[in-house]
């Protein structure tokens, strides 16, 4: 059968940002994937060069709404290291609490999206309801559900009062119970097992070859985690474990994320119970040293985030180069999709928790006849793919 090119994208309301895939398929099997990310370039790196450090933090929070704290912390800790600032312990603890709450809300969101992609909407509703608890906690701490704006160069913007800490600690047992429920479900729920097991499998060698990061890599036994490998904040002083799995498929990635939910919850609890006293920020100098250069690494919920920062003696950066975890993961998605079923595109793409979107509109083109037509996301999700008459020629 002739190869068929299926453009997927660029818009889809269920996911966050636009991306266009050109999926080359032979029958129901995927041969190759080509990616176009050009729909969302907002020039943030360029804009960062013209704003001082105070104004650049809110800008960086807007790189991504889900992992906003990751970008701001990654940048702040890089600049602070260049300025040789000693950040108070209390601020480090608060940053860690917010970082781990962010990881929890991101992973719960992912679990819901993945469940939705396989048509298991009950789980989607459950995880998103539980995610609300995390969002409420974040709102209580920072005043915002997303884009918390917790960081300042030199510390954090607002403190956690003993009352707040107490009220957060009271809500953790419920979350813990729910996470326990998801662990049980992942092991025994038939729908999840059927749609996740063996789908989008990547071996350890493939992960290393294609450079995947985060839970995608750890699900294949590649135990890279910047929190342990390049300790920042207080990760080398609090108890936690790197979660890995050997399955390497979407099921493995689910298990890793659920495991990380547990670890994050443990870390939040530990930090709240052992929150040291003292100030929450120090006065930072206005300017960063000239000729400073740093590669700041941070384990965002989706994987390792890298900010390459150069300073020039002023209050602005000379260069800020952001490498997001999703960009690092695309190569592995393209590899994982080869020889898989068209129907598994949503779940395999969703399995890396892409910070970009897929589509509700698909154009199918038959190269031989030159015919094109549309198929909906639902048809794709249900594994139905048929060419309807259309007029455009690709």
Partner 1 sequence: MNKKLTLEEVTGKLGRFGTVEQARFNRIRVSMEPDTIRDAIIAAQGDLACERLLAISTADNTETLELIYHLIGPHRTVISLATRLPSHLPKIRTISDILPPAGIYERQIHDLFGITFDGHPGLNRLMLNEDWPEGEYPLRKDWKPEPGRFYGGIREDRS
> Contact residues for partner 1 (CB under 8 A)?
34-39, 41, 43, 45-46, 208-211, 224, 228-230, 293-295, 297, 304, 306, 308, 310, 318-319, 321, 323, 327-328, 330-331
Nearer to partner 1, 16 or 310 (CB): 310
Output the smallest distance, CB 229 to partner 1, in A.
4
Nearer to partner 1, 186 or 328 (CB): 328
- Give the count of beta carbons closer than 10 Å to the beta carbon of residue 267: 23
Output the smallest distance, CB 338 to partner 1, in A.
13
| Environment class of 136 (CB within 10 Å of its CB; exposed 0-12, middle 13-18, buried 19+) | middle
Backbone angles phi, psi at 384, to 5 degrees: -95, 130
Output the smallest distance, CB 34 to partner 1, in A.
8
Beta bridge partners of residue 25, listed in sequence order: 4, 30
Give the H/E segment covering residue 318. strand 317-323
Nearer to partner 1, 36 or 132 (CB): 36
CA end-to-end span of the chain, whole Å? 18
Output the smallest distance, CB 46 to partner 1, in A.
6
Integer Cα distance of 301 and 264 in angstroms:
11
Nearer to partner 1, 35 or 172 (CB): 35
Output the smallest distance, CB 269 to partner 1, in A.
26
Nearer to partner 1, 182 or 224 (CB): 224
Q: Which residues of 172-211 are buried (b: 16+ CB within 10 A; e: fewer)?
A: beebeebbeebeebbeebeebeebbeebbbbeeebbeebe
Output the smallest distance, CB 71 to partner 1, in A.
15
Nearer to partner 1, 130 or 225 (CB): 225
């Amino acid at each position: 059968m002739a190869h068929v090119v299926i453009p997927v994208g660029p818009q889809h309301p269920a996911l966050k940002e636009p991306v266009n895939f050109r999926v080359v398929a032979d029958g129901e099997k995927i041969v190759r994937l080509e990616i176009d990310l050009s729909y969302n370039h907002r020039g943030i790196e360029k804009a960062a060069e013209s704003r001082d450090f105070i104004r650049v933090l809110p800008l960086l929070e807007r790189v991504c709404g889900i992992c906003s704290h990751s970008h701001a912390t990654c940048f702040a800790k890089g600049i602070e290291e260049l300025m040789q600032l000693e950040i108070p312990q209390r601020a480090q603890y608060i940053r860690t609490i917010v970082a781990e709450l962010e990881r929890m809300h991101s992973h719960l969101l992912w679990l819901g999206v993945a469940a939705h992609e396989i048509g298991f909407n009950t789980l989607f509703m459950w995880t998103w309801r539980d995610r609300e608890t995390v969002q409420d906690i974040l709102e209580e701490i920072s005043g915002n559900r997303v884009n918390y704006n917790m960081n300042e160069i030199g510390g954090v913007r607002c403190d956690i009062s003993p009352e707040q800490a107490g009220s957060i600690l009271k809500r953790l047992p419920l979350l813990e119970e729910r996470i326990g429920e998801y662990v049980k479900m992942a092991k025994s729920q038939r729908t999840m097992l059927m749609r996740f097991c063996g789908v989008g499998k990547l071996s350890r060698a493939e992960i290393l070859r294609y450079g995947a990061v985060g839970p995608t890599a750890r699900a294949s036994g590649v135990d890279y985690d910047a929190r342990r490998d390049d300790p920042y904040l207080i990760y080398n002083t609090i108890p936690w474990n790197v979660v890995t799995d050997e399955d390497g498929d979407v099921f493995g990635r689910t298990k890793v994320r659920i495991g990380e939910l547990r670890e994050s919850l443990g870390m939040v609890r530990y930090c709240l119970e052992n929150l040291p006293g003292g100030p929450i920020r120090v006065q930072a100098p206005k300017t960063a040293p000239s000729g400073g250069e740093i590669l700041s690494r941070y384990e965002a919920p989706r994987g390792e985030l890298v900010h390459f920062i150069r300073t020039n003696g002023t209050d602005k950066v000379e260069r800020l180069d952001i490498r997001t975890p999703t960009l690092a993961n695309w190569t592995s998605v393209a590899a994982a999709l080869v020889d898989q079923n068209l129907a598994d595109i949503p779940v395999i793409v969703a399995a890396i928790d892409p910070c970009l979107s897929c589509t509700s509109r698909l154009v199918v083109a038959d190269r031989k006849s030159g015919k094109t037509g549309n198929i909906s996301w639902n048809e794709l999700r249900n594994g139905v793919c048929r060419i309807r008459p259309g007029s455009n020629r690709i």
